[in-house]
Amino acid sequence: MKIISAEFIKSAVKRSDYPEELLPEVAFAGRSNVGKSSLINTVVNRKHLVRTSSSPGRTQTLNFFRINNQVQFVDFPGYGFAKVPLHVKAQWKSMVENYLKNRRTLKLVIILLDIRRVPSPDDISLIQWLEAFGIAFLIVLTKADKLSKNKCSSQENIIQDSLLIRKEEMICFSAVTRKGRQEILQHIMRVI
Ligand SMILES: Nc1nc2c(ncn2[C@@H]2O[C@H](COP(=O)(O)OP(=O)(O)O)[C@@H](O)[C@H]2O)c(=O)[nH]1
Ligand SMILES: [Mg+2]
């Protein structure tokens, strides 16, 4: 897939504010600071489509982007930031659950995990939730450039075992080297 256009459409919290269900959608989820903005920007070849390193847990909106008039990306707010007050966590949960339950054009959720860390309880509950609702997901391990090749594959195995997922459901990625970019795009093309 060649990226011809990538544009921000809108932010939304409530279902009534979502853009129309015209194009297939891929959502991106992960803990704050996992590298989600960097990954989206790398995938679409834009430096600043999505803002990187904004203070974690700040804006609690779903952000919609349109790529090539072919697919929409939905950027979820990062989760798992310790200092976020409980009522904000509850808001996150209801906003995301509403989207996941109701969005008929949703084709795939890409869950980002830091390759150096064990998945958090928040990561695991999101995955279990998607499995329970039969929503397709792909795990992307971010910041692969931070580890040697050997360490990357051993971490991959550890994370696979802990999540009980198959190798085909996981891709290693780096925004620095752009490793994994094509694989992610190919996966997206297949599911849409
Ligand atoms: N080395 C390395 N750093 C990364 C990578 N992706 C993101 N980062 C850094 O991690 C921090 C958080 O990235 P960001 O994309 O803003 O994460 P977000 O909070 O999940 O959207 C920033 O300092 C990025 O430069 C990567 O693949 N490799
Ligand atoms: Mg971000």
**In whole angstroms, how far apart are CA 97 and each of 37, 62, 63, 156?**
21, 12, 15, 28
Q: Residue 57: pLDDT above 60?
A: no
Domain boundaries, the chain: 6-191
Contacts of 125 by beta carbon, 8 Å cutoff, 6+ apart = none
Taking the CA of 31 as reference, the closest ligand is: 1
The 10s digit of each residue's pLDDT in 7-29 is 999 999 999 999 999 999 999 99
Taking the CA of 174 as reference, the closest ligand is: 1
pLDDT band at 55 (very low <50, low <70, confident <90, very high): low
Q: Is 176 helix (H, G, I), strand (E, B) or coil?
A: coil
pLDDT band at 82 (very low <50, low <70, confident <90, very high): confident
CATH of domain 6-191: 3.40.50.300
Q: Residue 56: pLDDT above 60?
A: no
CB-ligand 1 contact for 34 (6 Å cutoff): yes
What value does the mean pLDDT of the chain take?
93
Instruction: Summarize the chain as % helix, strand, coil (round to 5).
Output: 40, 25, 40
CB-ligand 1 contact for 78 (6 Å cutoff): yes
pLDDT band at 103 (very low <50, low <70, confident <90, very high): very high
**What average pLDDT does this structure show over 100-116?**
97
**What average pLDDT does this structure show over 124-131?**
94
Task: Give nearest CA residue, ligand 1 atom 10.
Answer: 35
Beta-carbon count within 10 A of 172 CB: 21
Question: Can you name the residues that pair with 110 across neighbouring β-strands?
Answer: 28, 138
pTM of the model: 0.96
Contact (Cβ atoms closer than 8 angstroms) between residue 170 and residue 139 = yes
**What average pLDDT does this structure show over 22-45?**
96
CB-ligand 1 contact for 15 (6 Å cutoff): no
Task: Give nearest CA residue, ligand 1 atom 7.
Answer: 35
pLDDT band at 53 (very low <50, low <70, confident <90, very high): low
Nearest atom in ligand 1 to 177's CA? 27
Complete DSSP assignment for 96-162: HHHHHHH-TTEEEEEEEEETTSPPPHHHHHHHHHHHHHT--EEEEEE-GGGS-HHHHHHHHHHHHHH
What are 69's two structure tokens?
């008039």
CB-ligand 1 contact for 36 (6 Å cutoff): yes
Q: How far is the CA of 146 from the centre of ligand 2 (A)?
A: 19
Cα distance between residue 186 and residue 31, in whole Å: 24
CB-ligand 1 contact for 175 (6 Å cutoff): yes
Taking the CA of 173 as reference, the closest ligand is: 1
Task: Give nearest CA residue, ligand 1 atom 28.
Answer: 143
By most ligand atoms within 8 Å of CB, the mutation choice from 33, 39, 140, 181 for ligand 1 is 33
